[in-house]
Amino acid sequence: MLYLAKSMHQLQFGKLMEVYTESNADKAENGGLLQAEQDFYQYLQECFFTTPEAVYAIWMQNGAYVSALRLEPYKDGLLLAALETAPEHRRRGYAGKLICAVLAAFPGKKIYSHISRKNTASLAVHKKCGFRKIADTAVYIDGSVNPGAITLCAQTTEKGL
């Protein structure tokens, strides 16, 4: 089921870290895993959840967090970022269920997503959920441009995609 957290105290941070095991391990190469998790906690508390409309979307299965993403205001809609499924739960349809549930939870909203050209798994799951390419680069919230990524967009109506 879809769970939406709009503040730090609505989020079980330890469970979220289990979803991000792989990307945290990559970041931890510089300053250690604990430091990576502390930095992320601080980012969520001081930056992410202080942004109006920002929300963490989590797919829960038997009480566990299995897939997660976050949404924050972007252009005339919301930006989907940090999509990840816990490594042991991949290829079971959880990212697809999460994204489709998010689209249904925000009818009429444009949802944008930036994806690396090389990320075949993420491109496939987004396309399966109705996302279409709208730009050949990614322009991030801070205005920087990544030519190695593309921008996709999806929008649901009250009746669905």
Ligand X SMILES: CC(C)(COP(=O)(O)OP(=O)(O)OC[C@H]1O[C@@H](n2cnc3c(N)ncnc32)[C@H](O)[C@@H]1OP(=O)(O)O)[C@@H](O)C(=O)NCCC(=O)NCCS
151 is an interface residue for ligand X by CB under 6 A: no
In b/e form, how buried is each residue of 31-57, taking b as 16+ CB within 10 angstroms?
Answer: eeeeebbeebeeebeeebbeeeebbbb
119 is an interface residue for ligand X by CB under 6 A: yes
Task: Using the rule CB under 6 A, give the single segment among 32-40, 44-52, 124-132, 137-145 that binds ligand X.
Answer: 124-132
Strands 55-61 and 64-74: antiparallel
Residue 40 near residue 57 (C-beta atoms within 8 A)? no
Minimum distance of ligand X from residue 155's CB (angstroms): 19
Answer for which of 25, 34, 121, 141 binds ligand X (CB under 6 A) is 121
Residues that bind ligand X (CB under 6 A): 67, 83-85, 90-96, 115, 119-122, 124-125, 128
